[in-house]
Structure 1
Amino acid sequence: MLLVVPGPDPEPWPTLGPQICDLIEDRAIYGPGSLQGEPYEIDPEFRAFIHRAFEVFPKGHPWEGRRRFKRVGLSVRKGLAKTEKQALLAFCELHPEGPTRFDGWDASGNPVGRPVNSPYIPMLAVSVEQVEELAYGALKYIVEEGPDADLFDSTLDRIVRLNDHGRADGKAVALSNNPGSRDGARTTMNCFDEPHRLYLPRQLKAHQTMDANLPKRPLDDPWSLYVGTAGQPGQGSVAEEIHIEATQIAEGKIQRPDLFYLYRTDDDPERDLSDKDERIRAIAEATGPIGEFGPGQFDEIASKWDRPGADGPYLERVWLNRWKRQGDQAFDMKKIKPGLCRSGERIPKGGFITLGFDGARFRDATALVATSIDTGLQELLGLWERPDDDDLEDDGWEVNEAEVTAAVEDAMTRYAVWKMYADPPHWTETVGSWAAKWPDRVEEWWTARVKPMAYTLREYREAIDSGSITFGGEHSHEDFVRHLGNAGRKELKIVDDEGKPLDVLQKQDGRADLKFDAAMASVLSWKACLDARKSGARPPRPVGMPRRIY
């Protein structure tokens, strides 16, 4: 299946694409790999992608000659040299003869391109090492080993374009997730490699900063390029936001979009992936017309599903480019987002609620979640996260206890709270003080009790499956959903009454950076909500004003 948005127009748009393709095939080479150093040949699908990506507004339009799309996304399966494709387009942007900007019309009415003035191309990935190994590394090889090597000066962290006098006239830089160091940069092209890996707060901030830099050079028509593979739904990654926007464009919900997006996958719901022949057909569909790079390649990829312990969802994600939750992801985020998300909805003041509290004082995060007993709407009332800073010492941060207690007091005052279920480890004394203050409302609920926790988690999933629970909030909504997507699962050696294995929450793959305390607090709050309903709990009667009886 091929998703291309926006779809084709009845009348083709003017494009600089043919000139871009000519430059690549005339002056660029293959990056590191089996064909490294050989002249690059553009396959038909990539050629069509380039033509669409470089469309410009037609003659007579108020924006004549400007880029139609300020953002361009390419999402294809693993192994299709997508990173090299990003490097090639960055090469065109950096090249002193790169026809990447509009410079008028020729006699036939076709747009003519020119190089951008003093290009600045930050290439962002999860770490500097990843940038150097992926897109930046491919670009470095292309400029160093290609026929125009004398036009550039490259090092491990920057590639400089040289002018006729041998002086710097623009550059591409390897950039990790440090937004502050590039704040203020006058960018002409942003490159985001593997954006499905950009989901932590500091990475999202880096993306936000880089995106905010684009309007600083309006005369140079700057733009962004996103190249990668499908990620895990619910993580809130840069790739996921782009993919959701593309889906909305396809559904006609966004008028005059500035995003062009090509997504190739196999999404046949009837595909039986337990059958190897079906897997081979799925891989062929996700690959597209370019086909196998060598005899038996698809068969070799399909064999990965047969290995003991193979993670099927992971294989579907990387080889079929499906948005699939990882095998150890606790919740099906496709059901939660956008189906159960109610961004902006809040529990009204005085609402009859339950609370869930979980967290660590020194590591990870601490969270407080409310659930409306009447509607099932949940809201994240408080979240205290350890900053994602690699230079921060493990013992250098602690949750502000006074802030947490203030949030609990506010909830107890603002709402009619039936019960608060709090996981006491790390907060034993504090939870005890709350219980002393609100003895009928605060209860300890130990999540370390494996079997009760597993059945509570099953009840929570049943609520998601049935749509009985929804997730609201305003400023805290995205953090709430992120924590739900971060939650992992650990399968237990015990089964439920139907013979199905039970599981509990844990970090995904031991990833310390994936905080999920708001998810655990959500589960506890929902458990308290169910207990309230089972007991027939009712909100307390409002205290009436005395009146005189005559």
Structure 2
Amino acid sequence: MGVLMVPRPDDEPWPTLGPQVCDLLEERAIHGPGALRGRPYVLDPEKRALIYRWYEVYPQGHPRAGKRRFKRVGLSVRKGTAKTELAAAVAFAELHPEGPVRCDGFDADGEPVGVPVSDPYIPMVAYTEEQTEELAYAALYVMVTEGPDADLFDPGLDRIMRWDGLGRAVPLASSPDARDGARTTFQHFDETHRFTLPRHREAHQTMLANIPKIMLFDPWSLETTTTYTPGEGSVAQGTHEFAELVASGKSKDRTLFFFHRQADPRPDEDLSDDEQIRAAVREASGPSIAAWPDFEGQVDAIVSLYNAPDTDRAYWERVWLNRRVQAGRQAFSVARWAELARPDQPLPEKGERITIGFDGAQFRDATALIATHLATGFQWPLGIWEAPPGANEGDDPDQQWECPADEVDAAMIEAFDTWDVVRAYVDPPYWEGLITTWQGRWGEKQITKWWTNRLKAMAYSLRAYEGAMKTGALTHSGHEAYARHVANARKKQLKMLDEQGKPLWVIEKERHQSPLSMDGAMAGCLSWEAHRDAIAAGVKPKRKPSRMIVLR
């Protein structure tokens, strides 16, 4: 079965507050929004086992006796397994004035004695404001307003407080600042596969850094998610890959607990086969979910989604089998791009011949300048400019981010001063004034307007760019932002065929207003197109001067 658990269960179980927490939940909590709303909360065996692990404490006699073993917890399971409701239930226990969530010594049998947090502060972070209203915070709201302990809480849409005035849970959206969670006792990050922007990762790191600040509260973090799309650089990806490093012994972290369940892919797997696809869904679900009422009815519904003619099967595989698979519309292989990285390769020497690609928007989005070494096909960014965290969030056009044209111009000047730029292909929209300046400075032969809205020409250029990746003719510096832009590019199929009858495609963002930029990928393609055209025109890499040795 495809399970990654870090750390694995110990031969001798650790002391845990888990049984007391589970008893509180099943006695005092109710199910949140959904078919079971309002019914007494029931934990299946797997969720009970997870809570036992999450609340392990150091044993008597240890210098840190009674303190939490794990400070950071990650849970990655398929869609539809009630993981968000589980996180809400944990928040309920952490907020409850009688929640046995911290150890206050040990009883005569050596078992930990649980007590509530005196003044809990619980930020619950979601990707968007809409998520805060739909996911974990919404489930917690139902638990405290419709359950048997409703008189213990003062609920609101922007905070849930205890009636004693000590403690609250708050929903946070998008990109909380450094003050959010400054005195955190417990915090939850929901659907972290959606936390893909730099500001999301920065907020996550800031809030993790708040955890060690008030050790008397013994605070901790919980991250719940369906698994991530490779290459998007999400928080979920970072946590999962770090857990794999810990599991392999390549990194050490005694404070991390991570659990991931998936249907392991098989070399000869055929998901069009009814028996195999059902087995995969069962494996991704695990035995506890498989014991739910009418589980086979759920399997029927999941399989029917796979068989629908308009289904994105890569997405289906990610959310229902919890497999890390490249997005179905993803234009370029993220794994292959990683293989082509040469981070230790030095940049070409001064005077070497290069080509340049330029693409981007002057406002709101991103702009990129990518260079390609004529002799080797090695690419690196001369500059990638992206809107900083928090920019573009209002409706006022005067408040929108603007790419610094002077920095873009300076990067181009430095490139021409350092190397022999034989061709630069630049996409004109939004930058006509600057491009005209460049043409006046270096000439139209070196600065060529290359319109990316010429769909057929663009499609053939992208095919060549992808082909260079497949053959290894193209390598790159491993620049993080460039890799992210390449991963963000999505295919848009055209109503055009090539000479062999194969469909042509161009690239676009995942959606029109998506904050996930792909201008670096377009600039890289233009740089590669200039590289191809230069070679086709007979431009040769500069040869290093040879030395003549005279024998006497």
With the length of structure 1 as denominator, give the TM-score of the two structures: 0.90
Give the CA deviation at 1:363.
4.0
SS, match of residue 369 in structure 1: strand
Distance in 2, Cα, partners of 1:257 & 1:110: 22
Is 1:347 the equivalent of 2:350? no
Match of 1:458 among 463, 471, 492: 463
Match of 1:280 in 2: 278
* Superposed counterparts of 1:54-69, under 5 Å: 54-69=55-70
Match of 2:394 in 1: 391
Match of 1:507 among 506, 509, 512: 509
Is 1:95 the equivalent of 2:92? no
Residue 29 of structure 1 aligns to which amino acid in structure 2?
Answer: I
Give the CA deviation at 1:107.
2.5
Q: Is the contact between residue 276 and residue 303 of structure 1 (CA under 8 Å) also seen in structure 2?
A: no
Give the CA deviation at 1:447.
1.7
Match of 1:548 in 2: none
- Structure 1 unaligned residues grouped into runs of 5+: 545-550
Give the CA deviation at 1:301.
1.3
Distance in 1, Cα, partners of 2:332 & 2:195: 20
Give the CA deviation at 1:364.
1.7
Identity of counterpart residues, as a percentage? 52
Residue 269 of structure 2 aligns to which amino acid in structure 1?
Answer: R
- Structure 2 unaligned residues grouped into runs of 5+: 547-552
Match of 1:31 in 2: 32
Distance in 1, Cα, partners of 2:214 & 2:111: 25
Residue 98 of structure 1 aligns to which amino acid in structure 2?
Answer: G
Give the CA deviation at 1:517.
0.6
Distance in 2, Cα, partners of 1:537 & 1:215: 59
* Superposed counterparts of 1:176-255, under 5 Å: 176-180=173-177, 182-183=179-180, 185-255=182-252
Give the CA deviation at 1:55.
2.2
Match of 1:86 in 2: 87
Match of 2:310 in 1: 309
Provide closer, same or farther for how the CA distance between residues 149 and 515 of structure 1 changes in structure 2, counting only shifts above 3 A. same
Residue 521 of structure 2 aligns to which amino acid in structure 1?
Answer: A
Question: Can you list the C-alpha shifts for 1:409-458, whole angstroms capped at 9, x where unaligned?
Answer: 11222334333221222223322322332335333322222222212212
Is 1:15 the equivalent of 2:16? yes
Provide closer, same or farther for how the CA distance between residues 124 and 346 of structure 1 changes in structure 2, counting only shifts above 3 A. farther
Q: Is the contact between residue 123 and residue 180 of structure 2 (CA under 8 Å) also seen in structure 1?
A: no
Distance in 2, Cα, partners of 1:18 & 1:469: 56
SS, match of residue 74 in structure 1: strand
Distance in 2, Cα, partners of 1:375 & 1:61: 59
Match of 2:549 in 1: none
Distance in 2, Cα, partners of 1:63 & 1:344: 43
Provide closer, same or farther for how the CA distance between residues 363 and 151 of structure 1 changes in structure 2, counting only shifts above 3 A. closer
Residue 240 of structure 2 aligns to which amino acid in structure 1?
Answer: H
Residue 449 of structure 1 aligns to which amino acid in structure 2?
Answer: R
Give the CA deviation at 1:62.
4.0
Distance in 1, Cα, partners of 2:473 & 2:246: 29
Give the CA deviation at 1:77.
1.2
SS, match of residue 482 in structure 1: helix
Give the CA deviation at 1:60.
4.2
Residue 270 of structure 2 aligns to which amino acid in structure 1?
Answer: D
Give the CA deviation at 1:329.
2.2
Q: Is the contact between residue 369 and residue 521 of structure 1 (CA under 8 Å) also seen in structure 2?
A: yes
Residue 231 of structure 1 aligns to which amino acid in structure 2?
Answer: Y
Match of 1:483 in 2: 485
Q: Is the contact between residue 178 and residue 206 of structure 2 (CA under 8 Å) also seen in structure 1?
A: no
Match of 1:409 in 2: 413
Q: Is the contact between residue 178 and residue 207 of structure 2 (CA under 8 Å) also seen in structure 1?
A: no
RMSD: 2.5
Q: Is the contact between residue 281 and residue 321 of structure 2 (CA under 8 Å) also seen in structure 1?
A: yes
Distance in 2, Cα, partners of 1:184 & 1:93: 15
Provide closer, same or farther for how the CA distance between residues 372 and 5 of structure 1 changes in structure 2, counting only shifts above 3 A. farther
Q: Is the contact between residue 93 and residue 116 of structure 1 (CA under 8 Å) also seen in structure 2?
A: yes
Which piece of structure 1 moves more, 388-397 or 189-198? 388-397
Provide closer, same or farther for how the CA distance between residues 256 and 508 of structure 1 changes in structure 2, counting only shifts above 3 A. closer
Distance in 1, Cα, partners of 2:537 & 2:94: 66
Distance in 1, Cα, partners of 2:27 & 2:344: 53
Distance in 2, Cα, partners of 1:334 & 1:539: 30
SS, match of residue 267 in structure 1: coil
Provide closer, same or farther for how the CA distance between residues 384 and 160 of structure 1 changes in structure 2, counting only shifts above 3 A. same
Give the CA deviation at 1:344.
7.0
Residue 413 of structure 1 aligns to which amino acid in structure 2?
Answer: D
Distance in 1, Cα, partners of 2:473 & 2:254: 35
Q: Is the contact between residue 95 and residue 162 of structure 2 (CA under 8 Å) also seen in structure 1?
A: yes
* Superposed counterparts of 1:437-452, under 5 Å: 437-439=441-443, 441-452=446-457
